[in-house]
Amino acid sequence: MNNKNITRKILHFPLTKIIVGISIIVGLFALSKNLLGKIFQTNLLSNDLINLIVNIISSILTIVAYIYLYKYYEKRKITEFSTNGIAKNLSLGILLGAVAQSLTILVIYFAGEYSIVSVNPILYILPALGMAFSSAIFEEILLRGILFRIVEEKLGSYIALFISALIFGLLHLLNPNSSLIAGIGLAIQAGLLLGAAYIYSRNLWFPIAIHFAWNFTQTAIYGANVSGNALSKTLITSRISGSEWFTGGQFGPEGSIQATVFGLLASVFLLFLSHKKGNIVKPYWKTTITS
């Protein structure tokens, strides 16, 4: 075996592709946000509007970088960002994310532990809009586009789903006001749901839309903390009290038991539909035996 073949095998080893992809995407996203923040510094625009513009442009650049990186790295068409059916995937994803979050808040409301303090100007949604937009695209590219997709190619859908969901939960342990229970809940409700959404749709638009709608609805509309982070400006200023397991406490409603249940139910349903569509990938050893 010559050096050229050894180099090629190392470069196309799954772990190498994951490390290269994550390093480039994280580096580009951080660099673009930093540079764009300096470019758009002006007294003509509010800080909220500048942050929104920076988040949108840096997110678009991240998508473009992912497409071109893996187009040439893996020498294939990037179907996970195909525009075929994009309107359907985005609308269904936004609907699913918004409904799931609304049901979570509704449970707290009916228990008498959610109340509206004030309704604020519509422009107060801008900080949450920028945060939800960029985090949905950035995290879905890393967790589903790179990690899940590449692991799934070798180990199959279910093992990849478990690994990506576990890592998703572990990463959120680093967030403010997080806990082991919150991390486990996020791994189940969001890690599984977003992975199942990718399996079902075979594109990233669907999980991106779910992720965006979940975060945006939670913080911009209902005024709750999202993953331990609180925004000073939201459309509704709310007050949430009660048991941490029921409300999520300072981590936010996604740390509640009902959020985990709703996310798990949606995940099971999407996996059921994925089975019917034949979208479940078998691990390489079962494919080898079958062939």
CA distance 82 to 170: 30
Nearest in space to 18 (alpha carbons), one of 193, 167, 131, 192 = 167
For tokens 């996996």, name the residue: 271
pLDDT band at 284 (very low <50, low <70, confident <90, very high): confident
CA distance 70 to 73: 5
Task: Look at residue 72 in the predicted model and tell me its pLDDT.
Answer: 94
Place of tokens 């390093």: 23
Work out the angle at residue 220's Cα, subtended by the Cα atoms of residues 217 and 223, and round it to the nearest 5 degrees: 95
Euclidean distance between the first and the last CA atom of the chain, given in angstroms as a whole number: 27
Tokens describing residue 180: 């082991």
Q: Looking at the whole model, is its pTM more than 0.75?
A: yes
- pLDDT attached to residue 1: 54
What whole-number percentage of the chain has pLDDT above 90? 74
Of 63-72, 244-253, 267-276, the poorest mean pLDDT is in 244-253
Residue scoring higher pLDDT (38 or 43)? 38
Check: CB of residue 153 under 8 Å from CB of residue 281.
yes
- Could you report the per-residue pLDDT of 179-213, keeping only the tens digit for each? 888 888 899 989 999 999 999 999 999 999 999 99
- For residue 216, pLDDT beyond 60: yes
